[in-house]
Every structure is written in C-alpha cells, then in structure tokens.
Amino acid sequence: MDFYSFLIQLLNGVQYGLLLFLVASGLTLIFGIMGIINLAHGSFYMIGAYMAFTLASLTGNLFVAIVVGVVLSVLLGIVLEWALFSHLYKRDHLEQVLLSYGLILVFEELRSLIVGNDVHGVAVPEIFNWSIPLTATLSYPAYRLVMSAVCLALAGLLYVLIHRTRLGMMIRAGASNREMVQSLGLDINLVYRLVFALGVALAAFAGMIAAPVSSVYPGMGTQVLIICFVVVVIGGIGSIWGALFAALLIGLADTFGKVLIPEAAGVTVYLLMAAILLWRPEGLFRRVG
C-alpha cells in the first residue's frame, strides 16, 4: 500500500469512526446517566437517514432537510422519553431490552409502510461535491472531510456542554446521584428528557449526514447499533472519552481490516472486542465523565 492509498484509508477510517461516535455517544450517555439500555438507538440512525432522503427530495436541499430533521428527531426523543422510557428507570435491563426490541420492530415496519423496502441514494450537496486531488489518479471527496470536521466539532461541543455548562453539571450530578439532585430542587426528569432527546438527535444527525455516502437501506440501523455496542463495550459504559477513542479504533480497525484481510472483514471488530474483553472486561475508560 503506497502512501496515498494509506492516507485515503486512514481518512475513511477516521470518518467512519467519528460517525460511529455520534451514535455511540448518545447510547453511552443514555446508559451512563439514565441507566437505560436502548436497542432502538440504531433505529434513530435509520430514521435520520430516511428523513434525509424524504426531506431532501421534498425540499431539494439537504441542509434544509437536516435542520428540519434535527428538530423532528428532538421532538421524537422527547415524546419517546415521556411516553415510554420514563416508565422504565426503575425496571430491570431485561424489560428495557424487550421494550426497545419491540420499538425496533415498530420503527422498521413503519419505515416499510411509509417509504418501502428499497435502497435509496441521497445526492451530495452541490457545494461539497468536489474532490481534493492527491495524485494523478487518486483524489479524496471533500464531503467526507466535511463530515469528519462536523463530527469533530460536535464532539467538542458535547465536551463543552457536559463539562463547562450548568446543564452539564446537572447531567453529571444526575449520573452519580439521582435522589440527591432531586432533593436539591432540580428537575431531574427534565434533565433526563433532554439527554434522551440529545441522544436521539445525535444518532439521527449521524444518519442524515451519512446518507449521501452510505446510501439509505433497511437494516442500516441494526448494523450500526451492533457496532456501537462494540464501541461502548470497548470504551467503557458512560464514558464519552472512551466512546470517542473506541469509535476511532473501531473505524480504523474495520477500514484497514477490509483492505488488509478482506476474508475476515466482518469479523475484525468482534475479534478486537474479544481481545479487549480478556484484557480489561470493564472497557478501556471506565466512567470518567
């Protein structure tokens, strides 16, 4: 592999990893703070991608589609938390697993009812539809770089939100002691609702920006969900830093795994997870913030 092909794979790996981070961070926050395991989290990614497809074909503009889509997904998050997940805080994981399993079936079937089961493509927006030439034959699409930059910016914002704002303080306090936060007169239910909506919006946003590069297909949610579980297990549940590090690790392992050992492509990330489970069963970063 020469330098430029290596560079392209590296950029692809980082971009995939950052995208996974957006989905996995919501998953890990929702678990770390609310103690909820949500299998339907991958469905939000799928819903995001399908919203990008539908809204972009309605409005003709992906940016408008994304703005509308983010608003809709925040609303979806608030409604789901209010109607369903808020009943599950004190219940055991098995019931949470079942409820979210039921939700996946509902979302997938609704998707099939509304948009059908076809694979769709979404056009890359005109201003980013160009490539950076690397050599005479190789180039790198600008849109992917923009995606990576946006994901990085969001990761930074998430950090600031959690560690530098008053809401972040409430989120961190709620994660360590729910009752104490309540007795201080803070509305913990509101915090939970916001965190859940944030997680949904992040996953849906990831689906929306991924739509132009990965196409939109049934089952995309499950695929990303399971990889995100691997990310969360490697990173350590509840840890944002762990999620970022593990997502990049998985992104690179998956991308280079496909190039270097194509026979084992589907299996690389799971083997990595197995190795880390032997070494540190609690994940690499445990509960740091």
Nearer to other proteins, 70 or 200 (CB): 200
Q: What is the contact surface with other proteins in residues (CB under 8 A)?
A: 31, 37, 39, 84, 87-88, 91, 93-95, 97-99, 101-110, 112-113, 222, 226, 229-230, 232-233, 237, 263, 265-267, 270, 273-274, 277-278, 281-282
Nearer to other proteins, 70 or 88 (CB): 88
Shortest approach of other proteins to residue 283 CB, angstroms?
Answer: 8
Question: In this structure, are residues 206 and 25 in contact, taking their beta carbons and an 8 Å threshold?
Answer: no
Shortest approach of other proteins to residue 4 CB, angstroms?
Answer: 29
Nearer to other proteins, 16 or 143 (CB): 16
What DSSP string describes the chain? --HHHHHHHHHHHHHHHHHHHHHHHHHHHHHHHH----TTHHHHHHHHHHHHHHHHHHHS-HHHHHHHHHHHHHHHHHHHHHHTGGG-TTS-HHHHHHHHHHHHHHHHHHHHHHT-S--B--PPPGGG--EEE-SSS-EEEHHHHHHHHHHHHHHHHHHHHHHHSHHHHHHHHHHH-HHHHHHTT--HHHHHHHHHHHHHHHHHHHHHHHHHHH-B-TTHHHHHHHHHHHHHHHH-TT-HHHHHHHHHHHHHHHHHHHHH-GGGTTTHHHHHHHHHHHH-TT-SS-S--
Nearer to other proteins, 95 or 187 (CB): 95
Nearer to other proteins, 155 or 237 (CB): 237
Shortest approach of other proteins to residue 186 CB, angstroms?
Answer: 26
Shortest approach of other proteins to residue 265 CB, angstroms?
Answer: 8
How many other CB atoms are found less than 10 A from the CB of residue 86? 15
Shortest approach of other proteins to residue 99 CB, angstroms?
Answer: 4
Question: In this structure, are residues 73 and 201 in contact, taking their beta carbons and an 8 Å threshold?
Answer: yes
Tokens, residue 212: 């132009």
Nearer to other proteins, 30 or 68 (CB): 30
Q: How far is CA 238 from CA 14, 33, 50, in A?
A: 22, 7, 28
Shortest approach of other proteins to residue 103 CB, angstroms?
Answer: 6
Shortest approach of other proteins to residue 183 CB, angstroms?
Answer: 25
Nearer to other proteins, 114 or 136 (CB): 114
Nearer to other proteins, 90 or 164 (CB): 90
Shortest approach of other proteins to residue 5 CB, angstroms?
Answer: 24
